[in-house]
Amino acid sequence: MRLDPLWVQSAGLVDNAEWARKAALLVCVLPTINATADYSELSTQQFNIGTGRAANATGRASIDARYELFTGGRKLFGARQASADLETARAGELAQRYETALNVERDYYDVLGARELLDVARDRATRAAEQFGTARPA
């Protein structure tokens, strides 16, 4: 059952939904952080005010952290939506698990039925051969 591609896909959807829910909850408490870095080689030396010397390269780095205090409920709605998506994914995974079990059981009984039909066909062929031998004059 664990090798059914549809079940594996539905289990993956549950995993993705769990991570999306965690991310939506973290957005509610963590700030947005942006980090940038810039480095440039200059064709001629220029005076660097920060170091007081001539330089042939410049560099800049910055980190910016922001947190929105009022989002009009957007973050809360996103967290609720992610929770609903997770429940949907879990329900889909459960439905697919039962569907897979049903298909396995159906295939099992199909094989049993086919074996029984094969046995019946062999018995008929044996009886037909016996009757043919009896009916045939020697």
**Cα atoms in the 13 Å half-sphere on the side-chain side of 40:** 8
Instruction: Calculate mean pLDDT across residues 29-36.
Output: 91
Q: Are 82 and 137 in the same domain?
A: yes
Considering the domain architecture, whether residues 135 and 80 belong to the same structural domain is answered as: yes
**Same domain membership, residue 137 and residue 87:** yes
**Residue-wise pLDDT tens digits, 89-123:** 999 999 999 999 999 999 999 999 999 999 999 99
- Residue 51 is predicted with a pLDDT of 82
Q: Are residues 61 and 1 in the same domain?
A: no
Same domain, 23 and 42: no
Same domain, 118 and 107: yes
Q: Which domain holds residue 51?
A: 32-66
Q: Structure pTM? A: 0.61
Looking at the structure of the chain, the number of domains it has is: 2
Is the same domain home to 100 and 83?
yes
